[in-house]
Structure 1
């Protein structure tokens, strides 16, 4: 059955983790937002693990190894023993689809195995789109660099004919630099879709605005080298103002978290740091609303959903320049600086701490208004629609 007789384009999607999971961060949220915003023209049929990242037990709220409707998508939660190439090939060949959508370059299970199934088991002849999700940023590639270079060298032939989705010109440059065999015409820019902003500025019912002498900072992300918490702590060691930093997120790399704990113990007395555990998705925005500033010196984001969530409740952001969120000071949303100058981050925090409380409140309103304007931009939705329609029009790989 083709897309015309079915009326909606059916996109068979592979991703490591999906709802109700949340620990893997951006990719699953991007897909959930795509399913919500593009449902008038597209159907997302998503194949994913039957558990959240780092968990040994399957979700107890879903059916395993069968299709079911979850929110605005159809989802197949696959058990570990069914993740072989043959089983994946069976899912592909038995599921009517118009496009195949992959959400990682380096994922051996949910990218390489589908590609092998398509090449050797002739599971499908449909076009393939791959979204690397920031994996080719400089910050990402310096983590396990030899392994990644070897992987690219050994398996690049299996990516022949695959079209690439990038979320910005920055990611496009990163991708073309990393994959010299990839042609520019085979890359499509379509920004990741954020959750729609709330109609009014939400404030935490427990919020107590910081005093003139102190500010409350939040770091909310997966705790791993890529997200650069150790850098944030090193910056705070150079700050003389009274600061409280609360850290939220799963401890994805325990050894790395141990290194961060050492840095925390060595901080001066004016810096208070607390680890507050995980935050469920529905609590992320109210949590952000309780803080003065989101400090996120990440080594690389192809989008950064947590950034959108922070500004959507009026909380300004202090970021590295390794995300698509640039020129933030001129936009009134915060600041973005290069990672090679930690003192610039420290000075920004000092300046922010000197702003009177009432002025900080007024700035929150301005951040929220600008965020609503930015996150409600229909051009992002349109670029995602055109991504799939253009690849579909241009035919199979």
Structure 2
């Protein structure tokens, strides 16, 4: 009959979370914020311990004022910020062994240090046998897999052959991502859908200064500058529009070569389209950034959730997206558009239509966007799904005697 592993901890179950970047960083975007919101919602029921890097995405220096390689409270979690020298496979395996936990939670499939190395250590018995949840965070979308495709296909084959994926619990943020995971891993793989949780309190939309007559359409891109986020597509679309556009780009330059190619595209745009590179923006400033613009243009190759989309809509700013995110049916809701990437002309048509939209219609659209974001939050923030995900995974530690 089933018996329970005697190492199961009393009190709240302890979840050991591994991800490449966490608070106080912010440049890594969605996965970081997904975990921060998860902790906010479930810290009364689970003890979260987080192993992560000691610096933000793209930074050469560690966080100022944060003690590295020590467990420190960050919000409602205990976090250990590791310097690069402590992120090697053996050092990380040692830390996992030394950290009592009931469940291991990985937040990438392709991260060499914070996912691949722990999976190898798990297979070799270098870390304790614990239930393991893996959330690929959108890495299995068709657009994401198309980037460095040969390398990713090789690792997929190798990980299966080496038995790294045995007894994993897969987490998808939506039914769309669940389908992506099954397409990559096989139709019979078990996937639990637990939606990413939003900011607990979105707050009222910030004030917006309406566009003056004759003023160019104010369009913003806010994300990491990397091939997955598809800024080059946005610039190519803007090269074809006939209306005036002020385009501002916020976000860290994750891929230097890609950023250079995007800068070259920006410099070739016609004179009625101006481009400004504004760099990273702190999360506290994001609502005001969106409120200052008329449209969020985000033709991403794939998102498992898209916190930044929710933030734009919550600020009342309509969105122009690819159809590779869970945010669908936007035109019917009157809050934006989700269009296929193989129809770039359709994106240009929507930008030109918004540029010609009367002020009254634009204000009404902003009100609909803010209301839509709050309604969507009430529908999606099903904390019970995340709770069930962890409890079901923990129950799998029961073994047959």
TM-score for both structures, normalised by structure 2: 0.93
Which residue is equivalent to 2:58?
54
Q: Deviations over 1:66-123 (max 9, x none)?
A: 1111011110111211223332223222222211100010111111222222232442
Which residue is equivalent to 1:331?
333
- Corresponding residue to 1:173 among 173, 179, 184: 179
SS at match of 1:32: helix
Query: CA contact under 8 A between 2:323 and 2:341: conserved in structure 1?
Result: yes
Which residue is equivalent to 1:304?
306
- Structure 2 gaps, min length 5: 1-5
Query: Is 1:189 aligned to residue 175 of structure 2?
Result: no
Which residue is equivalent to 1:380?
382
Which residue is equivalent to 2:283?
281
Which residue is equivalent to 1:237?
239
Query: CA contact under 8 A between 2:54 and 2:63: conserved in structure 1?
Result: yes
Q: Deviations over 1:306-336 (max 9, x none)?
A: 1011011111100000111111112232110
TM-score for both structures, normalised by structure 1: 0.94
Query: Is 1:82 aligned to residue 86 of structure 2?
Result: yes
Q: Which moved more, 1:268-277 or 1:86-95?
A: 86-95
Question: 2 CA distance for matches of 1:83 and 1:380?
Answer: 34
SS at match of 1:276: strand
Question: 1 CA distance for matches of 2:254 and 2:26?
Answer: 13
Question: 2 CA distance for matches of 1:189 and 1:281?
Answer: 27
SS at match of 1:64: coil
Residues 118 and 352 (structure 1), Cα distance of their counterparts in 2 relative to 1, 3 Å cut: same
Question: 1 CA distance for matches of 2:261 and 2:90?
Answer: 42
Q: What's the Cα RMSD here?
A: 1.8
Residues 220 and 379 (structure 1), Cα distance of their counterparts in 2 relative to 1, 3 Å cut: closer
SS at match of 2:374: helix
Question: 1 CA distance for matches of 2:175 and 2:350?
Answer: 27
The offset of 1:396, in angstroms, is: 6.4
Residues 147 and 364 (structure 1), Cα distance of their counterparts in 2 relative to 1, 3 Å cut: same
Number of aligned residues: 392
Which residue is equivalent to 1:43?
47
Superposition pairs of residues 102-121 of structure 1, within 5 angstroms: 102-121=106-125
Residues 4 and 150 (structure 1), Cα distance of their counterparts in 2 relative to 1, 3 Å cut: closer
Residues 235 and 127 (structure 1), Cα distance of their counterparts in 2 relative to 1, 3 Å cut: same
